[in-house]
Chain A
Amino acid sequence: MLSLIIDNRFAIAAVILFVTGFANMMLHPNLIKKVVSFNIMDSATFLLLASRGMIAGRTAAILTDGGADPSRYVNPIPAGLVLTGIVVSVSVSAFSLALIQRLYDAYGSVDLRDILEAMKKKGE
């Protein structure tokens, strides 16, 4: 049991982080915290991907001293996927932060409940 947990420690951490992010994103009324939770959720996925792609004793697939033996390197695709994922999550975060700023300008709050109340008062 203990060895199972230790062997899968990255996957377990990833699942805990993913669920934390997911729950907060769904339930928290503060928009900035929602963005933070979204980043936690995505980081969890990247953690899972990076840990699954790593094989102990091997290095990144960069040729240095001319050794082209594939058994010395790990598959570079997971790292590539993590990079792509980071680009996507950065752009989505930037977009949502810009949107939150517009909302703050319009309603003076970053709390979704306050914003909805302000909307009602304005009769929109």
Chain B
Amino acid sequence: MPFAWNLPYLSVFLAMVTAILLSVLPGAKKAYWLTVGVSAAVTIMSLVFLVFIVRADASYAFTMGKFPAPFGNEIKFGPLQGLFASVFAAVMCLSLLGGREELFEDVDEKKMGLACVMFNMILASLLVLTYTNDAFTAYVFIEISTIAACALVMIKDSGPTLVATIRYLFMSLLGSGLFLFSVILLYAITGHLLMPQLTGSVAKLMADGSYAKVIALILAMMTAGLGVKSAMFPFHRWLPDAHGTATTTSSAVLSGLVVKGYAVLLMTMYCRVFTLDTVRSFHIHDAVFALGFCGMILGSVMALRETHAKRMLAYSSVAQLGYVFMGIGLGTPAGIAAACFQILAHAFTKPLLFVSVGRLASAVGHDKQLRALRGTAWSCPLAGLGFGIGALSMMGIPLFGGFAAKVNFSTASIFGDEKIALTLFVLALSSILNALYYLPAVINIWSDRRPDAVKAEKDVTATAAIILLACGVLFLGLRFTPVMDLIVRGLELM
């Protein structure tokens, strides 16, 4: 076994050990830089692993502990998992760098170490949700990421963030409760928790037709549970408060990454355990498509009415997650691949927007009302440019990642046998709606300079983060064919 196959496990281990160490290590600055270092290290490890796994062109199950399957615990990785892990870790690192100034302002110095514990825990749970080959491990890490994500919202420790956290927490607990119940039912009818064994048992049960209703119920509960957690319409109500009030780094991490982890798990469950044929035979994918469809339109409509910049971005996340669910709802491998690409594109774009807004608002005393941000781009041109790139990508202008995502969705729908008209219609409508609120926001920040706006202080880390995130968006927009090929191959090897 080449050493590179140990890297996924080691990256999870590194993040978790750092989290445990940070709970006792003193020093706010040290904790922050250690966390940045760990996420950078995990990025490099995942990228090295990605190169090896793409060359090997295969996927492997990695057993931990001394018990082999079907008793022990496993992770399974292929090119797709490597790609997700690299992007998640990279965006995590860049979000931490981009929101540094505001993070130190918003978080009590004594509690910085604990905040960093949560960032490491989020990273670990994102990696596990991507890699895991065991349904119960997935549940445990769903709960870990719930607690860590809620803690990241409340680290600002103001009244509104506390209220947002409690709503987020209870919605999340409903979701994980549903997921747990579905996993237990699955265990009750199959006697397995490891995904390969589950796949075999589910296929057998589907073939002889017994327990078909139970499997349909399990699928519905799992979809609803993970849907609540990744803000699928109509369970999105918690998202704008939680993502809109938190500090910049938290918003970027939550909107760009955390909600995606559950969507990735849902796709793994669909493709690896249940197979798309089973999902289609119960018409679960139609429900997912319909909810994604509503989310895309209503998320944008609500963003249109918003006057607070970060809440507007949060509602836009609801719409963008609608795209992901629409892709899953197409029920074809091409649809899932398009959804994977959308996850990557949004993982770069949304943190770019949040970090840019954070920088722009620092020129006007951290007031994030759209009105207050008028003309602030002149105080910090790079952040203005970053916001522009992010907004253009969201609207689906060629050259940027969002455009490539929309192209992939359109082609996926054309090669599917149904829903072509609906998909194309909602893509067009949603692009127009996106333009309706992103374009005025861009014009707003680039309009006449405000007399009282101070020039933003120099912040090297934020500058680097904005440039790198923008590069990610441009890369996905310009070189999307190889990325798409990698995703399609990864899905075949799932």
What is A's interface to B at a CB cutoff of 8 Å?
A: 18, 21-22, 25-26, 31, 34, 38, 41-42, 44-45, 48-49, 52, 77-78, 81, 84-85, 88, 91-92, 95-96, 99-100, 102-103, 106-107, 112, 115-116, 119, 122, 124
Alpha-carbon separation in the docked complex, A115 to B136 (Å)? 36
CA distance A45 to B184 in the complex (A): 7
Give 28 pairs: A residue, B residue, CB < 8 Å, sorted on A: A18-B177, A22-B174, A22-B178, A25-B170, A25-B173, A25-B177, A34-B170, A45-B177, A48-B184, A48-B188, A49-B187, A77-B71, A81-B187, A81-B193, A84-B136, A85-B180, A92-B143, A95-B147, A96-B169, A99-B150, A99-B154, A99-B165, A99-B166, A99-B169, A102-B154, A103-B162, A119-B160, A119-B163
Are the C-beta atoms of B159 and A107 separated by less than 8 Å? yes
Residues of A within 8 Å of B166, CB to CB, are 31, 96, 99-100, 103, 112
Q: How far is the CA of A42 from the CA of B180 in the complex (A)?
A: 9
B194 to chain A, nearest CB (A): 11
For B184, the chain A residues whose CB sits under 8 A away are 45, 48-49, 52, 81
Task: Give Cα distance in the complex from A100 to B165, angstroms.
Answer: 10
Q: Is the CB of B159 within 8 A of A119?
A: yes
Chain B proximity of A1: nearest CB distance (Å): 18
Nearest B residue to A122, CB-CB: B159
User: With A84-B140, A92-B147, A122-B159 in contact, do A45 and B174 touch (Cβ < 8 Å)?
Assistant: no
> A124 to chain B: which residues have CB within 8 Å?
158-160
A106, B177: Cβ atoms closer than 8 Å: no
**Residue ranges of B at the interface with A (Cβ–Cβ < 8 Å):** 71, 136, 139-140, 143, 146-147, 150-151, 154, 157-160, 162-163, 165-167, 169-170, 173-174, 177-178, 180-181, 184-185, 187-188, 193
With beta carbons under 8 angstroms apart, the residue of A18, A49, A92 that contacts B173 is A92
Q: Which B residues are CB-close (under 8 A) to A78? A: 187
* Residue in B closest to A116 when the chains form the complex, CB atoms: B163
Tell me the nearest residue of chain B to A41, going by C-beta. Answer: B177
Closest chain B CB from A15 CB (angstroms): 9
In the complex, what's the smallest C-beta–C-beta distance from A29 to chain B, in angstroms? Answer: 11
Partner of A38, one of B71, B159, B173: B173
Residues of B within 8 A of A122 (CB): 159
How far, in angstroms, from A61 to B187 measured CA to CA in the complex? 19
Q: What separation, in Å, do the CA atoms of A57 and B128 have in the docked complex?
A: 39
Q: Give the distance to chain B from A18, nearest Cβ to Cβ, in Å.
A: 6
Which residue of chain B has its CB nearest to the CB of A28?
B170
Closest to A85 in B: B180
Shortest distance in angstroms between A95's beta carbon and chain B's nearest beta carbon? 5
Residues A42 and B140 in contact, CB atoms below 8 Å apart: no
The answer to whether B160 touches A95, judged by C-beta atoms less than 8 angstroms apart, is no
Residue from the list A81, A85, A99 in contact with B162, Cβ < 8 A:
A99
| Nearest neighbor of A42 in chain B, beta-carbon distance | B177
Q: How far is the CB of A84 from chain B (nearest CB, A)?
A: 6
Residues in A neighbouring B159, C-beta threshold 8 A: 106-107, 119, 122, 124
Q: Tell me the complex Cα distance, A48–B167, Å.
A: 28
- Taking A45-B180, A99-B154, A124-B158 as given, write out 12 further A-B residue pairs in contact, using a Cβ cutoff of 8 Å, ordered by the A residue number: A22-B177, A48-B181, A48-B188, A52-B188, A88-B139, A88-B140, A92-B146, A106-B159, A106-B162, A112-B167, A115-B163, A119-B159
The interface residues of chain B lying within 8 Å CB-to-CB of A81 are: 136, 184, 187, 193
A32 to chain B, nearest CB (A): 11
Residues of B within 8 A of A106 (CB): 159, 162
Shortest Cβ distance from residue B176 to the other chain A in the assembled complex, whole angstroms: 8
CA distance A31 to B162 in the complex (A): 13
| Bound-state Cα–Cα, A49 to B135, Å | 15
A93 to chain B, nearest CB (A): 10
Complexed CA–CA distance, A41 and B185 (Å): 15
Chain A hits for B163, CB < 8 A? 103, 115-116, 119
Q: Please, which residues of chain A bring their CB within 8 A of the CB of B173? A: 25, 38, 92, 96
| Residue numbers in B under 8 Å from A45 (CB-CB) | 177, 180-181, 184
Closest to A105 in B: B162
Chain B residues lying within 8 Å of A95, measured Cβ to Cβ, are 147, 150-151, 169
**Which residues does chain B contribute within 8 Å of A85, judged by CB atoms?**
180
For the complex, give the distance between the alpha carbons of A49 and B139 in Å: 15
Which residues from chain B contact A31 at a C-beta distance below 8 Å? Answer: 166
Q: Give the CA-CA distance A34 to B168 in the complex, in Å.
A: 13
Q: Tell me the bound Cα distance from A42 to B188 in angstroms.
A: 16
Taking CB atoms, residues of chain B closer than 8 Å to A96 are: 166, 169-170, 173
The docked-state distance in angstroms from the alpha carbon of A42 to that of B147 is: 16
- Provide the residues of chain A in CB contact with B71, threshold 8 Å: 77
Cβ distance B19 to chain A, nearest Cβ, rounded Å: 14
The closest CB in chain A to the CB of B71 belongs to A77
> 7 smallest A-B Cβ distances: which pairs?
A52-B188, A88-B143, A124-B160, A41-B177, A106-B159, A49-B184, A103-B162
Q: Contacts of B180 on A, CB cut-off 8 Å?
A: 42, 45, 85
Complex-state Cα separation, A106 to B154, whole angstroms: 13
- Please measure, in the bound complex, the distance between the C-alpha atom of A95 and the C-alpha atom of B118, giving whole angstroms: 13
Minimum distance in angstroms from A7 CB to a CB of chain B: 14
Q: Which B residues lie within 8 Å of A88 (CB)?
A: 139-140, 143
Q: From residue B173, how far is it (CB to closest CB) to chain A in Å?
A: 5
